[in-house]
Copies of this chain bind each other. A is one copy, B any other.
Amino acid sequence: MARRQSRPSIREVAKEAGVSVTTVSHALNGKGRLDTVTRERVIEVANRMGYHPNRNARGLRSGRTDTIALLLPLAPGRRRQPIEIDFYLELLTASVDAAFQHDQALVQLPPLESAGDLHRFALDGGIVVDPVRDDPRVAMFHDLELPLVTVGNHDARPHERWTVIADSAGTTRTMCDHMAAKGAQRIGMLTVDIDWSWFTDGIAAYQGWCADHGQEPILSLARRDKQETSMRDAVARLLDRPDPPDAVFVPPQWLASGLLTVAGERGITVPGDMIIGVGVDSGLARGTQPPLTAVDLNAPVMAQQAVDLLMKQIAGEPAAPRFRVVPTTLLPRESTSRVGVRPRGPGLTGRS
């Protein structure tokens, strides 16, 4: 019955190579002072036998587990479901890769009820994605004195934390510049009232950009509940103005698709009457009609940075800086191709 193929132990390798287990251990870990010839022979034998050190034994000895956790944010409302944004899946994948490079296993954690749950997993550390103020996940790591890196942050003094964030301010300025270059006269922002740096920094940068360019800010905030009515209220506040914007940057994805829908209902064409950019790229952004100009958050880089920081922290090594800002990439698509030129109907989008 599916008994796992018994893997060779360090003792068998030692016997096969005609040396002691110590020598094998040293050879494989590059530790002691060994004759080069011996070392290479041992390594060769170990490879030939398909030897891999037993993680449990190694962990028992070292007190480490070589396991780290990634905690994705949960969707508000639906209790156990993570937010379905492609970025998170990308971040997960990239984190797995990065962890693997450090020979760490990466586990997903279920929604944690208590610090006890965290203990059961025997982690060396964790990465908490998009923490909110007083995030219980963060508190648990602190209580257990477990190494922690956050991706995204909500903190007034972020530089004291081990944190990786996307460059929200730079993204916002780039998007505004892009829209202005496409002919936008009045650029608005439709975003949400959540204290993640991704949103707050974006708002601040937007206001700064407006000040620099002599434009009055046109800002509309949706409630954070992700409800359709919140979206519609916020969109209405934007479009019902006497002087509605002809360009809108919408950081959260759900508001961007909502804006597109409402615009369609009102007969406002995109990009003819209004151009739109969204803050996170996704299949959804690519698949709308028209496809939405979006921001690539560079999940692989963020994951790499987060895992690297975590490994440093676990090892007790210094890391300077502990606070990393990852640049983003603008992906121009049809939704910002040019404002003020009504597209000639659906035929425009044909690429055959």
**A120–B55 alpha-carbon span in the complex (Å):** 8
Q: Please pick, from B109, B120, B144, B145, the residue contacting A96 in the complex, using a CB distance under 8 A.
A: B109
The verdict on A346 contacting B89 (CB below 8 Å), with A60-B60, A289-B261 known, is no
Given contacts A4-B145, A106-B108, A261-B287, 14 further A-B contacts (CB under 8 A): A2-B314, A3-B145, A4-B124, A7-B119, A55-B59, A55-B121, A56-B65, A80-B97, A81-B90, A82-B93, A84-B282, A105-B105, A105-B107, A287-B288
Is A215 in contact with chain B by the CB < 8 A criterion?
no
Does A116 interact with chain B (Cβ within 8 Å)?
yes
23 example contacts (A-B, Cβ-Cβ < 8 A) are as follows: A1-B313, A2-B145, A2-B146, A2-B316, A4-B145, A4-B146, A7-B119, A50-B116, A54-B60, A56-B59, A80-B94, A81-B90, A82-B89, A84-B86, A88-B89, A100-B117, A105-B105, A106-B107, A107-B108, A261-B287, A264-B346, A265-B347, A267-B346
Q: Determine whether A257 belongs to the interface, using a CB cutoff of 8 Å to chain B.
A: yes
A122 to B60, CA, bound (A): 14
Cα A100 to Cα B54 in complex, Å, equals 23
Contacts of A261 in B (CB 8 A): 287, 289, 349
Is there an interface contact between B107 and A107, defined as CB atoms closer than 8 Å? yes
Known pairs A261-B349, A264-B346, A265-B346; A67 contacts B105 (CB<8 A): yes
- Can you tell how many copies of this chain the complex includes? 2
Docked-complex contact B316 and A289, CB < 8 angstroms: no
Partner of A147, one of B2, B96, B144: B2
Is the CB of A284 closer than 8 A to any CB of chain B?
yes
Most buried by B among A2, A96, A109, A314: A2
